[in-house]
Structure 1
Amino acid sequence: MLLGEGEAADAKRRLLERAGAAVVGEEGNARLAVIAIEDEAEALAAVERLRARGLLVNAVDRPELCDFTLPAVVDRAPVLVAIGTGGVSAGLAAALRQRLEALIPAGLGERARALFVARDSLRARFPDPAARRRALGAAMAPGGPLDPLGEGDAEAWLADPEPAEPASLRIMLASPDPDDLTLRQARALANADRLYYRPGVPPAILSRARADAERIATDRPPAAGVFLEMAPETAA
């Protein structure tokens, strides 16, 4: 459901129709409502009226009245990147979308479909899930054949995928800020199956690892694996 007229309402209509929604007026049957009404009192009345009908409501430019928000979307179907700010700044979300549009190749969706088609052959080539994950992680690294932001030869790699050795790296952190990680360090964290770290490594750094990676606090570096510790002057 869409209520309102003018530029804001027209923009929301285009967004809803692009997503495949059947846009109806207030008398129509709907579960979600977008209210693009400029007058404050009229907009508030519409919110209360539609909520009383059991609808979830998005009130344009009024985040405090929203039950849901509409993110800015970069569409590389089947790959979708959504940027949301919880309704705080639609302009910021739009600016980020414009930057990402320039960075993400138009053919990324085709690469995703090729990976889907190749899933059985990849499982046969790498029956161990950890080995398969490492191989894909190495191929998708910057400059790799499956780099999501690059133009590598994905077809050739999928025809003969290369294995990747388990990450083995000792990282001495000079800063607790995850943005200070080097590309190599960030890649090692993202691909590690187990992450070893000395107590004192901040959670913000540990969060850069995969969500399902095992995290092991220890004072003894492992024989192999990714081991994190703070530089002495930083820990002090």
Structure 2
Amino acid sequence: MDAFPAFFPLAGRKVVIAGTGEAADAKARLFDGSPAVLVRAEGTDAFLIGTYAGALLAFIAGDDLFVQSAASAARGARALVNVVDRPDLSDFHTPALVDRGEVVAAIGTNGSAPMLASLLRNDIEARIPEGTGRVAALMRIHQAAVRAVLPDQADRRNFLREQLSGPAAQKALDGDMEGAGALLLEALKTRDGPRGRVVYVAGRGPSDLLTLRAARILSEADLVIPDPDADPAILALARRDAGRLAPSEGGAEQMTALAKAGRLVVRIITRSPSAADLAALTRAGVTVDVMLAAPTT
């Protein structure tokens, strides 16, 4: 990872757009509908440190002399600077954005290929429903209630995972936030304890043979147990903060205990799953899925 992506809350924060013309206007349009305090700076105002006082971000567009002077002033006020089309003069790069309100996806190429980022954004945008931001808002509104009932992080994650693919999320997608909230709180009230499971995922590779379901499971895993020769590209699809165990540490007994504690355990295998382990998990009442690679054509 050559650049670290980060999201800055914008409520009440000052953002300065310095310069004129289409490039400056395009940067200003990024903040349409945002809660940021947007300031446009033109001419010599862009060279004054006071123009950027209290600003979080400064976007600067213009000729070399203009951007160098404006960038110097902005940095004097401790603002982070982006100079349009000049990554060498910038503190950060502007990604291609998919904006769904409270859900924002960003695709960056470290300033080297913005057209590629735009093409990738189009692909991702088609996969994210318009109402996704309302689902995020639903989770924010009821975050405190969920935390109070489920103080354990893994338990919360399992509950929220269920809700994100359930009727409450669908209500939010459809625009019925009141109905969505009622369904989520009812599910929280009537939840019957942690429900973990064990999922076997084919790990020999290549990674593009994985099904979409298998890739999603890897991204949601609480803990992964990979065979030593599992494809590194498949391992990379797992959540970075997911726990890791070696197969010798993650036998049927350990996987049973983890699943009964509500954990999603992903066993990444490069050969057929152990029949003895499968039988032991089934006898213990653990839900088990086996996801093989997608067939080749």
Deviation at 1:97, TM superposition (A): 3.5
Deviation at 1:51, TM superposition (A): 4.5
- Verify: 1:165 aligned to 2:195, yes or no: yes
Residues 190 and 210, structure 1, Cα contact 8 Å, conserved in 2: yes
SS in structure 1 of the partner of residue 140 of structure 2: helix
Tell me the distance in 1 between the aligned counterparts of 2:229 and 2:203. 11
Deviation at 1:160, TM superposition (A): 3.0
SS in structure 2 of the partner of residue 109 of structure 1: helix
Tell me the distance in 2 between the aligned counterparts of 1:156 and 1:135. 15
How many correspondences in the alignment?
Answer: 225
Paired AA for residue 270 in structure 2 = M
Superimposed CA distance per residue, residues 86-105 of structure 1 (whole angstroms, 9 cap, x where no aligned partner): 22233333334444444323
TM-score by length of 1: 0.74
Alignment of 1:205-224 (within 5 A): 205-219=234-248, 222-223=251-252, 224=255
Alignment of 1:71-220 (within 5 A): 71-123=95-147, 125-141=149-165, 146=169, 154-155=180-181, 157-161=183-187, 165-177=195-207, 179-219=208-248
Segments of 5+ residues of structure 2 without an aligned counterpart are 1-15, 256-264, 273-297
| Structure 1 vs Structure 2 CA RMSD | 3.5
Distance 1:172 1:18, change over 3 A: closer
Residues 167 and 192, structure 1, Cα contact 8 Å, conserved in 2: no
Aligned to 2:13: none
Tell me the distance in 1 between the aligned counterparts of 2:181 and 2:172. 16
Q: Does 1 or 2 have the higher relative contact order (CA < 8 Å, sep 6+)?
A: 2
Tell me the distance in 2 between the aligned counterparts of 1:181 and 1:164. 28
SS in structure 2 of the partner of residue 168 of structure 1: strand
Deviation at 1:70, TM superposition (A): 1.8
Tell me the distance in 2 between the aligned counterparts of 1:54 and 1:77. 28
